[in-house]
Amino acid sequence: MSSFAPDIRERRQPAKAFTLIELLVVVAIIALLVSILLPSLKRARAQAKMVASMANVRGIALASNTFAAEDRNDLSIPAHHLMGLIPGAVGEYEYGGKSGIGEPLSGNDVTSSKWGTQEGRGPATRGLNEIVYKGGFQDYRFNAGPENENWLNDTKLDLGIFRAPSDTGYAGHHYSAWRNSGLTSYDHYGNSYSASTAWIGVTGGDCRLRSNSSFLKPITRVPNPANTIYFIENCGRFAWRKSYGADGCQSLSGGATGSDVESIVKGWHGRPWEFATAFVDGHAAITHIEGHTIPQPRLSSYPARADGSPGTYDNYHCVIIRGKGWQLDTLPAPPVQTNISCADSGVVVDPIG
């Protein structure tokens, strides 16, 4: 046998193991990578939800434009059948969505919610549902089903286009009933998106509100559709009121600083004062609304007053509601008379006669 032949009895050396220090270094590197990647993943998720919310609100706008094309009066936002008949029915949520469970009229019974099927605001009564979901929904107002099953099912519908992915509930500058419920807007009202409403009213007498927005107004009478807000995430519905009391106009609660008004509207995407918004021309954007721009005298022309006398800044300064890239009002188009009482709306703006 050759002296160079390997000794088969020779034992192999075991593989060298990681030392404790090396393992700790690996763990530290992994932890560092996770700490770097997690914020990026969180931002990516938030961005995806924001994009999805813009897609929702744009889809609602396009559905409304389809509705307008079929409506004999060119109205683009369906008017709910209860509007003008019962207090608080002004239609800003009831144009679409499911049954809400907020503000129950009987203890904690969610089926008695003022926004629900039993009270006539179920999904079958919300007109835009018929456009978005062909055929709409069956009306169960007078058919509760065993143990209120039909009414409960209407509160559990997942109507994705009307539910903002980041809807976490109250964010400031809104009615205290929503804040106190602790619910998402989708669950409270049945809808995460509010139709844009701006009213003109007069104090005293049998006041009937006039529409100063795209709501209850023919789409053909909206002068600046690319700037005029159509629908907005409900958390931002009243963000424009931050500076509303500055020139003597009313705030959300009827005074310069109402008890319902928070100092900051956080929004649902981690950005204060920014909200997914759709405009009458059908496009959507993240819009910054932090108060409104107080108009200056004689910078615009104003429609004549109801009595035919010339319109002036003093008449209109409380109903010109605008900011950079957006507006709620539809001036100089004249307001449209509605059958909604000032007392029923909960909001009365300064008179223009």
pLDDT of residue 10: 56
Which pLDDT score is estimated for 231? 98
**Alpha-carbon Rg of the chain, whole angstroms?**
28
Asked if residue 253 has pLDDT above 50, the reply is: no
Across residues 121-139, what is the average pLDDT?
94
Residue with tokens 């949520």: 93
pLDDT in tens, 150-172: 999 999 999 999 999 999 999 98
Q: What's the pLDDT tens digit per position in 72-116?
A: 999 999 999 998 888 778 899 999 999 999 999 999 999 999 999
CA separation for the pair 341, 350 (Å, rounded): 15
Please spell the DSSP secondary structure of 287-307, one letter per residue.
EE-SS-PPPPTTSS--PPPTT
Query: Is-contact 311 305, C-beta < 8 A?
Result: yes
Those residues whose C-beta lies under 8 Å from the C-beta of residue 71, and which sit 6 or more positions away, are: none
What is the rounded average pLDDT for all residues in the chain? 84
Spatial distance between the Cα atoms of 183 and 25, rounded to a whole number of angstroms: 46
Domain ranges of the chain: 47-345
Tell me the per-residue pLDDT of 294-339, one tens digit each, with 9 for 90 and over.
776 665 567 776 677 777 777 777 788 899 999 999 988 888 888 8
Decide if pLDDT at 18 tops 70.
no
Mean pLDDT in residue range 282-288: 97
Tokens, residue 342 = 């000032």
Give the model confidence (pLDDT) of 236-251 as tens digits: 998 988 877 766 676 5
Single-letter amino acid code for the residue at 75: L
Edge-to-edge strands of the sheet including 199-200? 199-200, 208-211, 336-341
CA distance 33 to 37: 6
Choice among 27-36, 166-175, 252-261, 328-337 with the minimum mean pLDDT:
252-261
Provide the pLDDT for residue 261. 59
